[in-house]
Amino acid sequence: MKTILGISAYYHDSAACLVRDGEIVAAAQEERFTRKKHDAKFPHHAVAYCLREGGLRLEDLDYVGFYDKPLLKFERILENYAGVAPRGLRSFLTAMPMWLKEKLFTRDLIQNALPGLRAPVLFAEHHESHAASAFYPSPFSEAAVLTMDGVGEWATSSYAVGRGRDLDLLAELHYPHSLGMLYSAFTYYTGFKVNSGEYKVMGLAPYGQPKYVDLILDKVVRLKEDGSFKLNMECFNYLHGLTMTNGVFARLFGGPPRKPESAVTQREMDLAASVQVVTEEIMLRMARHVHRETGMDNLCLAGGVALNCVGNGRLLREGPFKHLWVQPAAGDAGGAVGVALTIWHKVLGNEREPGPVGDAMKGSYLGPAFPDAEIERFLDSIGAVYEKLGTDALIDRTAQLLASECVVGWLQGRMEFGPRALGNRSILGDPRSPKMQSVMNLKVKFRESFRPFAPSVLREHVSEYFALDEDSPYMLLVAPVRETRRIPMTAQQQALFGIEKLNVLRSDIPAVTHVDYSARVQTVHSATNPVYHTLLSRFHALTGCPVLVNTSFNVRGEPIVCTPQDAYRCFMRTEMDYLVVGSFLLDRRRQPPRREDGDWRKEYELD
């Protein structure tokens, strides 16, 4: 028996993953334990959890893997600063102390952070880890693999071919020409936080018109037919400065960047629509090139850009590949999975056989679970008022509450790995309710009103509601709502612009239908999540609708909840109506008053 601990850390989304004899036993992001979103520090808590879940001590590990190669990354940083000198001195002086003190000595950092460790520490390249996280857990025996992100060591996009245990990198694009950096530049320019707010740009795009596409392709990006491209670096500041864009960029697009938390205008909506169109075009051209070069029917995706589920949906519908699989933790957290599986298959030479059903990510339910006894002790300790119910009664009551338009916090089983809540750390609502999107955004999530919500749908009914008949268990595919479900718009409604579109009912599931009639779909399977599947089935039996609103259990700026304590705290700070945690049902109106010292919302840095 071989046990391998994979680690990603020191940039953003630190995480740990435990692999035993090729099986993913546990994986979690550090942010869920520290309550600091995108926590980049060494994942002490995530490592400790993985070892507990595996019943191991540090000295039992056979290997530890780190998801990138710090020396290669340092080489790129030095070459970058040398290439732009004397500009960039401030940025250089900001970065160097951390590198010279810590990051260059990552092996020592790991060994010091894990006292008692006897296992060797191995390193994989960043895009190798991404590619491995996409291919090895996938349901395919062979596939092309496309990775797209900001930057690893040098690579910003790459493609590979996986067959059995072999995974061979074929080509890559290099920094500073980066699709991830391009999208992040527009994220910064539209007033959102880089490495956090990119999904807001994606959600904002349907409110705008892609009026800047030609300008982007003429002045900012030189795009080739094979999907390779070069950025006009005169428009960007990230090579030598502390911001993403500069005055050249601002003059091209009509003014300075939007100030964070200021009003979102039509310009930001149009910019979001434009960069989304350009990003999708680059993704499609890359995929077509990879298909021509590899001849594969299957495509796996990873890297931060693979979280662009609108682009993924277009790849599935319009791209040349027959099947698509996206790593649910496609960003840097997933590198911990990738490096662990790289050691198992490439270093140790173990064969790989995909399972007969589904993928090897186990629905991404790889985090900690909490037994009822522990939950009850906690609830009693704070004087919470609750009902303890059997599984059938609990599901019946919850389905009834949801059917009556109550908002329910839902914590069950093992926590999800990756940025999406998939029915174990979720806030749920009735998708048929015209008011649900506004209520959940403004009174529960405390976030921008334009943000869409995702539907969870029974896998066996997905094609009745969406133009999709593929598995989408990880909420990483956007699909159109079926024409038969749509509500035709009047001429007056069609003339609306921007945020005015928000309150127009567009389908018989308006709470999960975006302004362009799209939805970010999660298909729910009885094999991977029987409890959630049963809840959806009961709601379906009550209402005739096999769909629920599913948003992550957190407020804006907060990581998704991990523990019952996190869930109760979030529940009491919002206007959720009910909380279900394990076998326990709590009515918010019956809970004892909760005292807060100061404004609790200042705990979380806004994204």
DSSP characters for 343-400? IIIIIS-------SSS-SSGGGB-S----HHHHHHHHHHTT---EE--HHHHHHHHHH
Question: Do residues 58 and 83 make contact, with C-beta atoms less than 8 angstroms apart?
Answer: no
Q: Is the pLDDT of residue 429 over 70?
A: yes
pLDDT at 459: 97
Cα separation, 425 vs 411, whole angstroms: 5
Model confidence pLDDT, tens digit, residues 234-274: 999 998 778 999 999 999 999 999 999 999 999 999 999 99
Confidence of residue 92 (pLDDT cuts 50, 70, 90): low
Cα separation, 361 vs 366, whole angstroms: 8
Cα separation, 560 vs 552, whole angstroms: 6
pLDDT at 88: 62
Q: Which two tokens stand for residue 178?
A: 């980066």
Domains 3-139+332-362 and 179-323 share a fold: yes
CATH number of 179-323: 3.30.420.40
Q: Is the pLDDT of residue 93 over 70?
A: no
DSSP H/E element including 283: helix 266-294
Q: Who contacts 374 (Cβ-Cβ below 8 Å, separation ≥6)? A: 564
Question: Do residues 161 and 134 make contact, with C-beta atoms less than 8 angstroms apart?
Answer: no
Q: Quote the CATH superfamily of domain 372-603.
A: Carbamoyltransferase, C-terminal domain (3.90.870.20)
pLDDT at 465: 98
pLDDT at 62: 98
Nearest to 191 by CA among 300, 134, 272: 272
Confidence of residue 463 (pLDDT cuts 50, 70, 90): very high
Nearest to 412 by CA among 591, 535, 538: 535
Cα separation, 476 vs 312, whole angstroms: 7
The dihedrals phi and psi of 377, each to the nearest 5 degrees, come to -60, -45
Q: Which residues pair with 466 in a beta bridge?
A: 481
The domain ranges of the chain are 3-139+332-362, 179-323, 372-603
Q: Which two tokens stand for residue 607?
A: 């994204």
Cα separation, 436 vs 545, whole angstroms: 15
Share of the chain above pLDDT 70, in %: 95
Q: Is the pLDDT of residue 68 over 80?
A: yes
Within 10 angstroms of residue 224's Cβ, the number of other Cβ atoms is: 11
The separation between CA 36 and the C-alpha centre of its own chain, rounded to angstroms, equals 16
Confidence of residue 84 (pLDDT cuts 50, 70, 90): low
pLDDT at 490: 82
- Write out the DSSP string of 159-211: EEEEETTEEEEEEEEETT--HHHHHHHHHHHTT--TTTSHHHHHHHGGGS--T
Q: Is the pLDDT of residue 425 over 70?
A: yes
Catalytic hit among 12, 45, 289, 540: 12
Q: Exposed, middle or buried by CB within 10 Å (0-12, 13-18, 19+), for 448? A: middle
Q: Is the pLDDT of residue 441 over 90?
A: no
Q: What is the pTM of this model?
A: 0.95
Q: Is 12 a catalytic residue?
A: yes
**Mean pLDDT across the stretch 146-166?**
96
Q: With respect to CATH, is domain 3-139+332-362 assigned 3.50.50.60?
A: no
**Mean pLDDT across the stretch 280-303?**
98
Q: Which residues pair with 457 in a beta bridge?
A: 523, 547
**Mean pLDDT across the stretch 423-444?**
93
Cα separation, 444 vs 442, whole angstroms: 6
Q: How far, in Å, are 152, 155, 473, 482, 557 from residue 76 at the CA level? A: 10, 10, 37, 48, 32
Cα separation, 296 vs 162, whole angstroms: 10
Instruction: Tally the C-alpha atoms within 13 A of residue 181's C-alpha that lie toward its C-beta.
Output: 28
Q: Is the pLDDT of residue 2 over 80?
A: yes
Q: Are strands 387-388 and 578-581 parallel, antiparallel or unpaired?
A: unpaired
Start-to-end C-alpha separation, the chain = 43
Question: Do residues 413 and 365 make contact, with C-beta atoms less than 8 angstroms apart?
Answer: yes
Rg (CA), the chain: 23
Nearest to 403 by CA among 546, 580, 567: 546
Helices and strands of the chain, counted as H and E runs: 20, 21
pLDDT at 597: 67
Between 76 and 211, name the one with better pLDDT. Answer: 211
Mean residue pLDDT across the chain: 94
